[in-house]
A and B are shown apart, each in its own frame.
Chain A
Amino acid sequence: MSAAQSIVMVVDDDRDIREIVADVLGDAGYSVITAINGADAIELLAKVTPSLILLDLNMPVMDGFEFRRAQRGNPALAKIPTVIMSAVHRMKEKVEELAVDDTLEKPVVLKDLLGVVARFCRTRDTY
């Protein structure tokens, strides 16, 4: 049933975050792909279309703000649901202009992470 299984893209420059998020989402029945910054994510998005993007804000090369602008400017990518996952101070005010679908404030607890992902994605067990 892999056709029904949702792919989640995790964009974060912190290796431990990428690994553990991929790990717990994998355990929960999702496919996960990871990118280390916005530019890396855009490259990957040429090949894969995820059901959800979990996006960090502060990253080298291309940060979450730039990525989001690029994403929204590209009709093929604009519609992919995007959730900011960041520790940035006063996040909600700062991401207002980015018009994202939701935010997760670090430190993130597992229950919140799974709750948000479940709203946008299906696991391989859904059907």
Chain B
Amino acid sequence: MSGASAPLRVLILEDSDNDAELLLRHLRRSGYDLDWVRVQTPEAFADALGVGGDGVSRDGVSRDGVSRDENKKKDWDVILSDFTMPRFSAPNALAIVKEHGIDVPFIIISGNVGEAAAASAMKAGAHDFLLKGSLARLVSAIERERAEARVRREHRRAVDELRESRARLQIAVQARDEFLSIASHELKTPLTSLSLQVESARQILETLASASGPAARLDAKLEGVSRQVARLTRLINGLLDVTRITSDRMPLDLDRFDLREAIEAVVAGTEDDLARSGSSLQIEASSAAVGSWDRLRIESVIYSLLSNAMKFGAGKPIQVSVNATPTEAVLVVTDQGIGIENGEQERIFRRFERAVPSKHFGGLGLGLWAARSIVEAHGGTISVASERGAGSTFKVRLPTSNGVPS
């Protein structure tokens, strides 16, 4: 409140010269440097708030040395208003404030107008109500309301920033999904040619009927190409699934099959990865686990879990088990690798998240997120139990009959 701080910007609504002068004197005596404007009409009030239209009357504006242009759109610290004036009133002023969503502390300083009027003014948005002639409380009321207005302003700014950054993020995600969708479409056409070429070449080789020598070597090479084509296909389909999941559209193509068949199919396609990982794989699945699921998607869930176990399994044994009740099939994949810290265990199921830096481990960071989305689309759950350095156990529960519309 010393002269060193910025002046207090006060908008005064008062018809009496005397009362206005008393008010200003009180504030100056309290140590405020003042930057003030006094108004007596709705037009002048709106103008002072920077919400008046062109050509409004500026009657009643009196200033202490500040030009009118500067006056416009001023950020007032406080509005001090008489209750009734010949051409204006505090309730009218409050209506204007409310209409324009202006958040400036509004303190009524009035003669005795009765409790009912005071109460209704407070209800209309006034922050305090003081009686002329007892201004002792004025300074503390102004300071309290300024502090609260500051808090409200900061809160609004934080909310605005959050909203903006969310909007930016949404646009970015949308652009990326659009890109993925186009890219995967573009990739599928050459992949079709490639896949058919390789398969056709292998068929031709077969007719050569030579089990050894160059034909056999060529066939082994083509088998390798064929595996890589299958891997590319999986990757591209995975990318496309990202966009499908994001747009909340994952129509399931339901089919009745044994979970063990799906595991077999995935394991057959990952033999190379397994050999590279140095881990051994043990499958415990003694009884059938039949249900209605989307075969390709469930295979991609199994693939994600298996390839994670190989990637992070530190070359130690991996166990896969399947158990089933009439209503539910449970798939468990356990490794004894690097494990996941407690705080990371929820995060790994989110999109593009990984618990380890990508330069040490490959992959797009989408596998578990896609797996969770797929499992949940089937009405199931996926969870992890893990300890740093002691491996991870992923458990997928799938209802055997699917109430989910396909």
Tell me, yes or no, whether B203 is within 8 Å of chain A by CB. Answer: yes
Q: When the two chains form the complex, which single residue of A17, A89, A92, A106 contacts B181, counting CB atoms closer than 8 Å?
A: A89
Residues of chain A contacted by B192 (CB below 8 angstroms): 17, 87, 106-108
Contact with B along A40-61 (1 / 0, CB 8 A): 0000000000000000000000
A106 touches B188 (CB 8 A): yes
Instruction: Flag whether A88 is at the interface (Cβ < 8 A).
Output: yes
Stretch at the interface among B194-202, B214-222, B322-330: B194-202
Residues A27 and B200 in contact, CB atoms below 8 Å apart: yes
Knowing A20-B200, A107-B233, the reply to whether A87 touches B195 (Cβ < 8 A) is no
B188 and A14 contact, CB distance less than 8 A: no
Distance in Å from the Cβ of B118 to the closest Cβ of chain A?
64
B200-A106 in contact (CB<8A): no
Measured in the bound complex, the distance between the Cα atoms of B186 and A14 in whole Å is 11
Instruction: Give the distance in Å from the alpha carbon of A17 to the alpha carbon of B249 in the complex.
Output: 30
> How distant is B68 from chain A, measured CB to nearest CB, in Å?
60
Measured CB to CB, the closest approach of chain B to A90, in angstroms, equals 8
Determine whether the beta carbon of B189 is less than 8 Å from that of A106.
yes
Q: Is A110 an interface residue (CB 8 A)?
A: yes
Minimum CB–CB distance for A24 against chain B, Å: 5
- A109 at interface by CB-CB < 8 Å: yes
B193 at the interface (CB under 8 A from A): yes
Main SS of the interface on chain A?
helix
B193 touches A20 (CB 8 A): yes
Cross-interface CB contact of A88 among B185, B197, B249, B251, cutoff 8 Å: B185
A24 contacts B196, C-beta separation under 8 Å: yes
Q: Which 10 A-B pairs give the minimum distances between C-beta atoms?
A: A87-B188, A110-B199, A16-B193, A107-B191, A106-B192, A106-B188, A107-B192, A20-B196, A24-B200, A87-B185
Q: Residues of B with Cβ closer than 8 Å to A?
A: 181, 184-185, 188-197, 199-200, 203-204, 229, 233, 236, 240, 243-244, 249, 251
> Other CB < 8 Å A-B pairs besides A106-B188, A113-B196, 14 of them?
A16-B190, A17-B189, A17-B192, A17-B193, A20-B196, A23-B196, A23-B200, A24-B196, A87-B185, A87-B189, A90-B244, A93-B251, A106-B189, A108-B192
A residues at B contact (CB < 8 Å)? 14, 16-17, 20-21, 23-24, 27, 87-90, 92-93, 106-110, 113
